[in-house]
Structure 1
Amino acid sequence: MSMRGILIEMKQIAFLSSFIFIIYACGNKETQLSDETFYMPAEWEPHDAIWLGWEKDSTYRFYPSIGKIITTLQPHVTVKIAFDSDSLKQTAIAKLIELGVDTTGIKMYVMPGERYWIRDHGAAFLVNEKGELGVADFSWDSYGLPGFLDLKYEGNKDSINSAWKRDLEKRLKTGSVDSLMAFAEGAKIIKTEVIHEGGAIEVNGKGTLILCEATVFQRNPTLTKERIESEFKRVLGVSNIIWMKEGLADDPHYFYRRISGDYVGGGTGGHTDEFVRFVNPTTILLAWVDEAEKDLDPISKMNYERMKENYQILKNAKDQDGKPFTIIKVPLPDLITQEVVIREELKKNGFTLDLSAEIFIPSEAVHVGDTLLRVPAASYFNYLVTNGLVLLPSYTAMGSSKEKEDAVREIFEQQFPGRKIVFFDVMMQNWRGGGIHCSTQQQPERISN
């Protein structure tokens, strides 16, 4: 099957998913409301809840940090967790209790297809002035999997088709989780053909959206920029879009990639929640590498060049009212690496950072026995803002500069006065290409007139 064939099939899957959901939601009166009044609030606005997902494979070692995140959130906001199955829900409850989490106040939902990174595939919540809740329902293709398969199998249609069909049912279910979340909350669904993940949405709540060309165009090769912009404006209620060029080098597209030389890693290919964030309607944080550090290693050099270009874009950008932004440069942590061995076969159980040779694309081939430097998606930008809190990742335990982390704390204390700033070690999530923000999704408070 050709790439075009896969994209057509994806659209058919998205249609079927929508049709299935309509059967469940046809009795929901909110589905009859007009789309035009909905918009996405900024993350610092009040929340009714924070959603999390739960990963079945405990070998990722996510659980301890999840427990700490939940207990930190609970005094401030309702916690909701979605699970792929009831049996997984029951084992999760037992694990949370073991971690010292009070589960009595947590709202739990069984949503087939749910996976850990709920921000990316889950509901992107919206509100309107009538006090109603909406959800922007983007299409889902597992982080641009078709494009990665084309590289991996060098255009071989049979191999691409075979790999695409693998786990197709699971992907279909995952693509419906946002609709299930909408149904659970009685929210209006606003669908779009645009393929996009929640970790790549950054809004100021007043009409401006930041996107990254590297991810948006990779996911939507058949759509024009004009079509993509019109859809984002329609479903997110924005009027102004700023386009970044590329994200961080240590957030390469898919798992796993040779970034430069012997440095390897995996990620999304440029999610905004790794390098650029609004902290208020007129102020933007941008990841930064100082000139004195840019030649320390190839990753720092790449990030320096990419963020320098993004800085120029932001300097020339205007908000929805035609006014310039204040841009604050935030240091990236010192580069973290781990020597790994390329193995023919990885352990089925237990934790390892070693990688398999067969998961790399031919043009970036590695060989069994190679020793490489694995790089995590480590960034202070994968943070969550909620009621009275800012949850940030910490890297001092991995050897990053305490002075840098203190500088980051100071920036956040200045930008979010009155909120408690809490740092967490989420390195296990970073090794898998994500962090705190990817692991959570805010449900905004409905506007009451």
Structure 2
Amino acid sequence: MAFPSQGYTLGDTATEADEARSTWAAVAHAVLEFEPVTMVVDPGELEIARRYLSADIEIVQTPLDDAWMRDIGPTFVYDDDGLAGVDWTFNGWGAQEWATWDLDAKVASYVLQQADVPRIASSIVNEGGGFHVDGEGTVLVTETVQLDPGRNPDATKAQIEAELARTLGATHAVWLPRGLTRDSQRFGTRGHVDIVAAIPSPGVLLLHDQRDPAHPDHAVMQEIESALEGTTDAAGRSWDIRKVPAPATLEDEEGPVDYSYLNHLVVNGGVIACSFDDAHDEEAAAILGDAYPGRKVVSVDARPLFARGGGIHCITQQQPTAP
């Protein structure tokens, strides 16, 4: 994980900064129940971070622009030769005018050095929240991310797929047309898949389900479901689609929300799930529990995260042990 240190993530007031730091810390301590946590902290924030984080959380230091480790950190991969990490090119979610990324673009390499893991450099602009894999060759991507003119303006699907095969070993890409509505607006990622769909096990697809026609994502998810018709995973299996309800909450002060229970983190023996003090929290947690049998579902209030543009999956990046 990375500790929020500056910019829009901290907000404009001391209260907003405390909310951000407290929520990042709550997620870290939820994960700590199951496995070790390392937190990357900007050197200027070290004393503040220590006030929020348990002594059981390892702290390492490097300069940061922001705190979305899923996107700025490496994607860990492994094969018979051992563990490695993919260092994607990062440019602030498509060179967005509000973002800075000179420091964050170096974080993946730093993390790999700290972990003493070989680095696999990638020339494509990509983020960890922009794809999902099943570990058996399948990768979910969205046309609005990997083919974004602000990310990879000259790339074709074939070129993106070749790079995903080289770096991830993912030989079968399933392209979704877009992401959710709020995520497609000014402060969004332009379509990250990790609030739309997830693959909890090969052949199974968890899918965001906006049930209310009054929300624009109701139509978006119909479009995405249509795009999935006839697709399979790398093994040729038709998807066992399990719909996870969107929260009943439809709006905040900025407009339609993109709250999603799909943005969860799988840990050793558990699942760290988003909650929203919402009527659908329990139903969603039960579906996640069924999708990950034998794992304890622990929920953390993710509203402060989504108000800043992401969720639990977005601020974490799992590091497996070597096979």
Report if TM-score (shorter chain) is over 0.5.
yes
Aligned pair in 2 of structure 1 residues 227, 235: CA closer, same or farther (>3 Å)?
same
Pick from 174, 177, 188 the counterpart of residue 245 of structure 1: 177
Partner of 2:42: 84
Partner of 2:270: 389
Partner of 2:272: helix, strand, or coil?
strand
Aligned: 1:229 with 2:161: yes
1:50-92 Cα shifts (integer Å, max 9, x gaps): xx1011144342222223222222231010000122x322321
Aligned: 1:283 with 2:159: no
Partner of 1:56: 5
Q: Structure with the greater relative contact order (CA < 8 A, sep ≥ 6): 1 or 2?
A: 1
1:7-406 to 2 correspondence within 5 Å? 52-57=1-6, 58=10, 59-60=16-17, 61-85=19-43, 87-96=44-53, 102-103=54-55, 105-113=56-64, 115-130=66-81, 132-145=82-95, 148-149=96-97, 171-218=101-148, 219-255=151-187, 267-290=188-211, 293-294=212-213, 296=214, 300=215, 302-339=216-253, 373-396=254-277, 400=278, 402=279, 404-406=280-282
Q: For residue 91 of structure 1, what is the amino acid of its counterpart?
A: I
Partner of 1:440: 316
**Within 2, Cα distance between the matches of 1:54 and 1:231?**
30
Aligned pair in 2 of structure 1 residues 91, 64: CA closer, same or farther (>3 Å)?
closer
CA contact (8 A) 1:248 1:303 kept: yes
Q: State the identity %.
A: 28
**Within 1, Cα distance between the matches of 2:41 and 2:29?**
19
Q: Look at both structures and tell me which one has the larger radius of gyration over its CA atoms.
A: 1
Gaps of 5+ in 1: 1-51, 97-101, 150-162, 256-266, 340-372
What RMSD over aligned residues (CA atoms) do the two structures have, in Å? 1.9
Q: For residue 394 of structure 1, what is the amino acid of its counterpart?
A: S
Report how far residue 376 of structure 1 moved: 4.0
CA contact (8 A) 1:62 1:428 kept: yes
CA contact (8 A) 2:203 2:239 kept: yes
**Within 2, Cα distance between the matches of 1:183 and 1:253?**
35
Q: For residue 304 of structure 1, what is the amino acid of its counterpart?
A: H
CA contact (8 A) 1:203 1:278 kept: yes
TM-score, scaled to structure 2: 0.91
Partner of 2:317: helix, strand, or coil?
strand
Report how far residue 375 of structure 1 moved: 4.1
Partner of 1:285: helix, strand, or coil?
strand
1:102-161 Cα shifts (integer Å, max 9, x gaps): 31x32221122363111111111111223x22111111110112xx55xxxxxxxxxxxx
Report how far residue 414 of structure 1 moved: 1.1
Q: For residue 84 of structure 2, what is the amino acid of its counterpart?
A: G
**Within 1, Cα distance between the matches of 2:103 and 2:113?**
15
CA contact (8 A) 1:250 1:378 kept: no
CA contact (8 A) 1:84 1:115 kept: no
**Within 2, Cα distance between the matches of 1:121 and 1:67?**
18
TM-score, scaled to structure 1: 0.66
Gaps of 5+ in 2: 11-15
**Within 2, Cα distance between the matches of 1:287 and 1:419?**
21
